[in-house]
Amino acid sequence: MATDVHRAVSPAATGAAKAVRVEGLTRSFDGRAVIDDLRLDIEPGEFVALLGRSGCGKSTLLRILAGLDRDIEGTALVSRRRAVAFQAPRLMPWKKVWRNVLLGLPGRPERSVAERALDEVGLGHRSDAWPKTLSGGEAQRASLARALVREPDLLLLDEPFGALDALTRIKAQRLVGELWQRRGCAVLLVTHDVEEAVLLADRVLVMDSGRIAHEQRIDLHRPREITDPRFAGLRAGLLERLGVHTAAEAA
């Protein structure tokens, strides 16, 4: 837990060197603080997973970092080039997949730009399809392509695999891992799946009642194996932090 990433340096000096720098962040709904004096730094290129029970404020934090929620107090510095992929793919159903990918990009980007991003997520052949004809996994990959085409320094993922079936989820997790290694952007992955967090992240944060309650570095080599005993140990430790006791301990 003890890390020195929170050393006090002047904001101007660190703002450029970090993908996210948040200090004293508070967000209240009707007087109830959902995020309470939170502090978080993410290094460029770092993969951070944010775990927590539902309602702990992790999705609110992600929305704030995405710039979608501005009713905040405190300091929040976030990369200007950032992109979000939500739990639901949120594709515009009235735009073909490739137009969805290009939506909101400055200038008049060529279709080939979208095609390249779609190829990267293995969806090049569906570029001309209507979003409602895509399967859940395909739609989620299109949403990823839409995020990646912005060449973000920070990729915010809000439980992007939550709605996928088990097999599709494994593939999608692998894809995100590969994309991250290729692109080298910082990633903040909000999830409630401990396994997923340990599988992908450099650092796992556990959020509880509006703060980062626990921090765990994952130093396993990639690609990681679920069968690795150290993997199981990290997983059990994090589960305990989340208030779930594993069978081994119960015995």
Partner 1 sequence: MSISHAPPNSPEPDISGISKSVEAGPEEPGHAAPDLQPLVPASSRRTRVPRWLRRTAGPLLLLALWQLLSSTGVLASGVLAPPGRIAQVGWDLVADGSLPSAMGTSLRRVAAGLLFGTVTGTGLALVSGLFRVGEDLVDAPVQMLRTVPFVGLIPLFIIWFGIGEAPKIAIITLGVTFPLYLNVYAGIRGVDSQLIEAGESLGLGRWGLVRHVVLPGALPGALTGLRYSLGIAWLALVFAEQVNADAGIGFLMVQARDFLRTDVIVVCLIVYAFLGLLADFIVRSLERLLLQWRPTFTGR
Cα dihedral 48, 213, 190, 172 sign = positive
Rule CB under 8 A: choose which of 9, 17, 68, 226 binds partner 1: 68
What mask of x and - would describe binding to partner 1 in positions 109 to 148, judged by CB under 8 A?
A: ---------------------xxxx------------x--
Return the HEC string of the chain. CCCCCCCCCCHHHHHCCCCEEEEEEEEEECCEEEEEEEEEEECCCCEEEEECCCCCCHHHHHHHHCCCCCCCEEEEEECCCEEEECCCCCCCCCCCHHHHHHCCCCCCCCHHHHHHHHHHCCCHHHCCCCHHHCCHHHHHHHHHHHHHCCCCCEEEEECCCCCCCHHHHHHHHHHHHHHHHHHCCEEEEECCCHHHHHHHCCEEEEEECCEEEEEEECCCCCCCCCCCHHHHHHHHHHHHHCCCCCHHHHC
User: Least distance to partner 1 from the beta carbon of 84, Å?
Assistant: 5
Q: If binding is defined by CB under 8 A, does position 93 make contact with partner 1? A: yes
For partner 1, which is the closer residue by CB, 42 or 234?
Answer: 42
The span of 104-112, 167-175, 229-237, 243-251 binding partner 1 (CB under 8 A) equals 104-112
Rule CB under 8 A: choose which of 90, 116, 171, 192 binds partner 1: 90
The span of 21-29, 97-105, 177-185, 227-235 binding partner 1 (CB under 8 A) equals 97-105
For partner 1, which is the closer residue by CB, 150 or 192?
Answer: 150
Q: Are 140 and 89 in contact (CB under 8 A)?
A: yes
User: Least distance to partner 1 from the beta carbon of 132, Å?
Assistant: 5
User: Least distance to partner 1 from the beta carbon of 2, Å?
Assistant: 35
Rule CB under 8 A: choose which of 40, 83, 121, 139 binds partner 1: 83
What mask of x and - would describe binding to partner 1 in positions 152 to 171, judged by CB under 8 A?
A: --------------------
Cis link prior to 109 (omega < 30° from 0)? no
Alpha-carbon span 121 to 104, nearest angstrom: 20
Phi, psi (rounded to 5 degrees) for 124 = -55, -35
User: Least distance to partner 1 from the beta carbon of 95, Å?
Assistant: 7
Rule CB under 8 A: choose which of 11, 55, 104, 184 binds partner 1: 104
For partner 1, which is the closer residue by CB, 91 or 206?
Answer: 91
User: Least distance to partner 1 from the beta carbon of 96, Å?
Assistant: 8
Tokens of 132: 């409602």
* Residues near partner 1, by CB under 8 A: 66-68, 83-84, 86, 88, 90, 92-95, 103-106, 130-133, 146, 150
